[in-house]
Structure 1
Amino acid sequence: MKRTRFVQNLLGIGLLSVVGCRMGDDKKETSSNLVHTDTNKTKEIADGLRRELIEAWHQSEKMTMINVQQMPTEYFTYKYTEEAMTFSEQWRHCVIYTCGQLAGRAGIKNPYENIKLPVQMPKEDVITELKNMYAHVRKSIKELSDEKLFSDCDFAGATIPVWRLFYAMENHIIHHRGQCVVYLRLNEVVPKGYYGW
């Protein structure tokens, strides 16, 4: 089910703007105001969002692991120009950035706060760190309070609800996964086709 359709079905078209966007009126109503409405409805919406987010992150992990496992071990230090990140660095960046953004913007504990990952990591370590990151994100989604899930945070020059931050982080991973598909092709590895959703 597409994310927009899910939210429309769950909330009804009339409430979509309350959850996903800032309103244009003087009250500056935000998604965090939803927490102060009907408690049962808020819980239902929060539970639905959690299920959708967890499914999205499960799918993301599946597609990421397919990509990472396809790259031969000897090409994890490959980069197409001197300025580019290596294949390994692309994934290291995803791990550090995702956890750092969730910590800084949503107040979620950063498991890498006191850990410095090596710039170049072997294939096995990249896979381990990616699995750790995905597990951390799913655990955070499950444990986040409804109030925090609907609270607002600043991101990319806008104010968005924390639940949208999780989608923004997944979108960032999609961007780097797309780059890594090119890395595969440049090393004559044919990427697996459309994975389905």
Structure 2
Amino acid sequence: MIHEIEEYVKYLDGVHKRTMQYVKVIPDELLNWKPSEDKFSIGDLLRHIASSRLMFLGIFEQGSWTYAGHDSGKGTSLEDISNYLESCQIKLTEGLLKMGNDILSKKVLTLLGHEVSAWRILMSIPEHEIHHRGQISTYLQINKIEPPQIFGLKIEQVKTL
């Protein structure tokens, strides 16, 4: 369980920074690439991660699930999307810090209307982002682009027994 919101925000910031390392290796020409017509593009995934941060914040601030979407109005270039990601991260972390540790004992509703402890929703924020970062990693590899190693080494570089 999370005991200090500052501790959680620090962790969330690390997840965000690792996502931003991915943004640095995406060529502009791949922003609209997607594996099939019915899937999100790389740009869609990045805008979705950003907009979802605001959705999660809304759960805690207003008690409602509202999604701003991932349309190209939130950025068509890598620079615009990067700025949107940063802006949404700042809003989320500032909002959480403003609520303070009280958020950790608050109850909120899930999308299906079930009441849960807010810390459970807090835990889903990084899980959601990491899930989509994994998709981006796959998309990059399909396009022959090596994704960043989030902890510095490939598994092949780790000593074996």
- How far apart are 1:62 and its partner, in Å? 1.0
TM-score (norm 2): 0.79
Cα offsets for 1:57-101 (capped at 9, x unmatched): 111111110111111111111111111111000011112222123
- How do 1:39-58 and structure 2 match up within 5 A? 45=3, 49-58=4-13
**CA gap 1:145/1:63 in 2 versus in 1, 3 angstroms:** closer
CA RMSD of aligned residues (A): 2.6
Which aligned runs of 4 or more in structure 1 are off by greater than 6 angstroms?
Answer: none
**CA gap 1:55/1:148 in 2 versus in 1, 3 angstroms:** closer
| Residue type at the aligned position of 1:150 | S
Q: Which SS does the other structure have where 1:128 is aligned?
A: helix
- How far apart are 1:194 and its partner, in Å? 3.5
Which of 99, 102, 123 aligns to 2:78? It is 123
Q: Which SS does the other structure have where 1:70 is aligned?
A: coil
Counterpart for residue 71 of structure 1: 26
**CA gap 1:52/1:167 in 2 versus in 1, 3 angstroms:** same
| Residue type at the aligned position of 2:13 | H
| Residue type at the aligned position of 1:100 | M
Runs of 5+ in structure 2 lacking a partner? 153-161
Runs of 5+ in structure 1 lacking a partner? 8-44
Q: Which range is displaced more, 139-148 or 165-174?
A: 139-148
Counterpart for residue 21 of structure 1: none
**CA gap 1:117/1:160 in 2 versus in 1, 3 angstroms:** farther
Aligned length: 147
State whether structure 2 residue 149 is matched by structure 1 residue 169: no
**CA gap 1:73/1:83 in 2 versus in 1, 3 angstroms:** same
Percent of counterpart pairs with the same letter? 21
- How do 1:1-197 and structure 2 match up within 5 A? 45=3, 49-103=4-58, 105-107=59-61, 118=73, 121-155=76-110, 157=112, 158-195=114-151
| Residue type at the aligned position of 2:40 | M
